[in-house]
Amino acid sequence: MHAIDRRLIQLWLAVTAGAGCAMFFTSLLVLLFLTIIGIPLALLLTYLPGAWIYLTAALPIYALLRLVWRETAPVLFLVIALIPPLAAGFAIPLLANRATTARIGTLMAEDHGAPPALPPGLSITHASDMLAETTTQCEGTCQRLLFSRTASSFVQVPLDEVKSLASLPAPARRFSIGPLGKTCNNERLRASYASPEEVGDMRPPPFLWDKLPEFARQGLCVHDAPVRDARADVVVAERWNYDPSYSGFRFYGAGQRLSLHPIEPFKRREVFRRTAQGWTRLMRRTEVRYAHLAMPLWLVPGFSFDTATPTHWAWDNQRTAGDPIKVYQSTKWNGIIANDLAVRGLR
């Protein structure tokens, strides 16, 4: 056996051992990163899984060339053997990134509109995958929609029930403002503080339900009725991929994420208005986080310190496409409607 062949085998064994340590003994990487002298070694180990792939793919080609042409310089064969794996290392991410961009474009192809300003007094149904089952409480957004008189009634249901609003499998709670009487019910109002936009620097801030005495003087109160028909003038559908059992791609967390198309589950907001001709979609806005693969294709071992990063193909960089909600305002239904939901008269 030629000396270069022996050294190549020894190199492969050393790279295999180092890659194995990086892939399966991540606690060793953490310990090395905690010491100044160990940082260079830890950095080297993180590069070895990717190097192992290319070296392993090149060895059979090298062996075949050596078997056919024994008298030719081994170094030349090694250079030739590395060309196909490296070519694939550039071609695969190039094609995968094009497909990823196309998938993002498909997700957003039907996006249109902006949060609409609704006329006051419409009934609203909110369907969201944040709800595992129909909610029985009227929280901050619900109270602001009612107390600002933006909505005449408000219902919340799970997103998967949006196609059966006319006949829900279980009753939902329809909250509304109506005449004083025996049907008044405040039991399901959840304590929600007023915001600085509503009461300034008042400390402690009042609760939103402090608006109820004013309504009572007007002969009004909160009504809470169980309904199986949740159809409304406006339907808001929100998808946050909130369900922890959702098996989509995630950029963070332990495990392996070896997808060639690193796209996290998308978030989407849609607003529908019922008209005489049927349902009209006023807005659809999608937000999705994704990344392109780095070139050449490179394997990065998982790492866990204060947060966990999975084993993954190296990403060029993570980015957000679409229309993310960047600023939260309690007096706005962010990204849904443009109406001011501030509850006035709480000072």
pLDDT, one tens digit per residue, over 302-339 is 877 656 788 999 998 899 999 888 778 889 998 999 99
Give the torsion sign (CA, 238, 239, 245, 251): negative
CA distance 58 to 86: 9
pLDDT for 25 equals 80
255 burial via Cβ count (<10 Å: 0-12, 13-18, 19+): exposed
pLDDT for 256 equals 87
Question: Can you say how many angstroms the Cα of residue 150 is from the centroid of all Cα atoms in its chain?
Answer: 30
User: Do the Cβ atoms of 193 and 168 come closer than 8 Å?
Assistant: no
Nearest-Å Rg of the Cα atoms of the chain is: 30
What lies within 8 Å, CB to CB, of 271 at 6+ separation is: 113, 115, 116, 234, 235, 236, 237, 281, 282, 283, 336, 337
pLDDT for 244 equals 60
What's this model's pTM, rounded to 2 decimal places? 0.83
pLDDT for 272 equals 97
Q: How many other β-carbons are positioned within 10 Å of the β-carbon of residue 158?
A: 19
Tens of pLDDT along the chain (347 residues)? Answer: 578 888 888 999 999 998 988 888 877 777 777 777 878 888 888 899 999 999 999 999 988 988 888 777 788 888 999 999 999 999 999 999 999 999 999 999 999 999 999 999 999 999 998 876 667 899 999 999 999 999 999 999 999 999 999 999 999 999 999 999 888 999 999 999 999 988 988 889 999 999 999 999 999 999 999 999 999 999 999 998 876 666 678 888 888 899 999 999 899 999 999 998 889 999 999 999 999 999 999 999 987 765 678 899 999 889 999 988 877 888 999 899 999 999 998 87
Strand partners, 151: 122
Q: Is 227 left (phi over 0), alpha (psi -120 to 50) or beta?
A: beta
CA distance 173 to 227: 6
Q: What is the DSSP string of 91-152?
A: HHHHHHHHHHHHHHHHHTTT-B-----PPTTEEEEEEETT-SS----B-HHHHHHHHTTSEE
93 burial via Cβ count (<10 Å: 0-12, 13-18, 19+): buried
Question: Can you say how many angstroms the Cα of residue 321 is from the centroid of all Cα atoms in its chain?
Answer: 11
pLDDT for 36 equals 79
